Amino acid sequence: MTDRHCKQIFATLSEYLDAQLPEKNCRELELHLKGCRPCIAYLESLRTTVEACRRYKAPRTPALSKQVKAALLAALQRSHRSQ
Amino acid sequence: MNSQVEQALANLKSGNPEDVEQALETLQEVVYGFGMKVCGVREDAEDTAQETLIRLARQLKEFPDARALAVWLYKVAKTQCLMSRRKSKFAPAQMLSLDALMPRESGAAVPAVKSWEVTPEEIVLNKELRSKLKDAVLALPKPYRLVLILRDMEQLDTREVAEVMGISEETTKMRLHRARVFLRNALAGYVRRAEMPEVRAHD
């Protein structure tokens, strides 16, 4: 993935994955991909990276303390009353 | 848009105590999760969630819809994370150059394309990959880390991420691409499938 065209394509891969690439650039990219296996492989690996991020979940959330919950509920009640 | 936020706003506005409590738990989960991904430190994530929810409780009537609430929540949580007192061991400040991140045929810092041979459908986040992904996200400079987390993990759209970050959509896209490439390169070698044909760096 070193020639000039690959470099241009490389810069647009995320927009392509997100379907945000303008149609003309999209056609150019797809034409390039037909003849460039390294770019296809890189695009797929980037797609897999995005999928891994989507599946990533943070550790389990600890419960709110009773005091914090009570303070929040009281503040919300005040907020409701003032509406 | 985060559907959890949508449901939570409806529950909050209902005024029903059980629904309100459920909404608080949901929003705490959203903000705590975001805080953990950004800060990587449990205490910071807890502080972020608590402070954000307290401010929300005072300002509830200001949110006309779930989109406004989601953008506000992430904006406040982001600011809390940036002010966190406990510095994680990963706190680089440098900018990412796309040129430096691009794979090369030889003498590259970036692993060869052939080390990555699994499709998005096949990826399994096992313990090792989860840990590697978490470390790679925390190794991202914060401006990139925040954009990546908001877009690819919290699944906000580009416009919402730009609003939360206070940057243009173009800058959002630029940061997102660099962050994704950084992560992709960091994860190479951890995601394999032996039966796939080998793809050479350049034919």
Listed by start position, the domains of chain A span 1-57
**Mean pLDDT, rounded, for A14-42:** 93
At A35 the three-state DSSP class reads coil
Give the position of tokens 């044909």: B197
| Shortest Cα distance, chain B CAs vs residue A47, angstroms | 6
pLDDT tens digits, residue range A61-70? 888 888 888 8
- Tell me the residue type at A39: C
Alpha helices in A3-83 (DSSP H): 4-10, 13-17, 23-34, 37-55, 66-81
pLDDT value at residue B195: 30
Dist. CA A75–CA A78, nearest whole Å: 5
**Residue A46 at interface with chain B, using a CB cutoff of 8 Å:** yes
Considering the domain architecture, whether residues B118 and B181 belong to the same structural domain is answered as yes
Q: Are residues B147 and B165 in contact, defined by beta-carbon separation less than 8 angstroms?
A: yes
Which residues fall within 8 angstroms of residue A52, CB to CB, at 6 or more apart?
B123, B125, B129, B133, B187, B191
Model pLDDT, residue B170: 96
Give chain B's radius of gyration (CA, Å): 19
Model pLDDT, residue B171 = 97
* Interface predicted TM-score (ipTM) of this complex, two decimals: 0.89
Q: Which two tokens stand for residue A34?
A: 């037909």
Beta-sheet strands, E only, within B14-172: none
Domain presence at residue B198: no
Among candidate residues B120, B172, B199, the one with its CA nearest the CA of residue A53? B120
Do B33 and A61 make contact, defined as CB atoms within 8 angstroms? yes
Query: CB-CB: which of A18, A45, A59 is closest to B36?
Result: A59
Q: The domain that contains B167 carries what CATH number?
A: 1.10.10.10
User: Is residue B37 located within the same domain as residue B112?
Assistant: no
Who among B34, B36, B184 is closest to A49 (CB)?
B184
Is the Cα dihedral B116, B120, B121, B126 positive or negative?
positive
Q: Which of B56, B82, B108 is the last residue of a domain?
A: B82
Q: Does B140 lie in the same domain as B63?
A: no
Kindly report the pTM of this predicted structure. Answer: 0.85
DSSP string, B71-123: HHHHHHHHHHHHT-SSPPS----PPPPHHHHS--SSS-SSPPGGG----GGG-
Query: Looking at residue B89, what is its pLDDT?
Result: 53
CATH code at position B41: 1.10.1740
- B93 in a structural domain: no
Non-local (6+) Cβ contacts of B66 within 8 A are B1, B2, B5, B6, B9
Specify whether B77 is located in the same domain as B124: no
Same domain, B23 and B68: yes
The per-residue pLDDT for B197 is 33
Same domain, B167 and B102: yes
The pLDDT assigned to B131 comes to: 87
Rounded to a whole number of angstroms, the distance from the CA of B164 to the nearest CA of chain A is: 19
Residue B42 structural domain: 3-82
- Chain A residues closer than 8 Å to B133 by CB: 52-53, 56
Which residues in B lie closer than 8 A to residue A64 (C-beta atoms)?
Answer: 24-25, 28, 50, 53
Indicate if B71 and B124 belong to the same structural domain: no
Residue pair B66/B18 in contact by the 8 Å Cβ criterion: no
> What total number of domains does chain B contain?
2
- Per-residue model confidence as pLDDT tens for chain B (203 residues): 568 888 898 888 887 888 888 899 999 999 999 999 999 989 999 999 999 998 988 887 778 889 999 999 999 999 998 887 665 555 556 778 877 777 765 433 344 444 555 666 666 667 778 888 999 999 999 999 999 999 999 999 999 999 999 999 999 999 999 999 999 988 887 765 433 333 333 33
Chain B residue with Cα closest to A12: B177
pLDDT value, residue B161? 97
**Residue in B11, B8, B12, B47 with CA at minimum distance from that of residue B27:** B8
Residue B183 lies in a domain: yes
Among A1, A9, A17, A53, the residue to mutate for chain B (most B Cβ within 10 A): A53
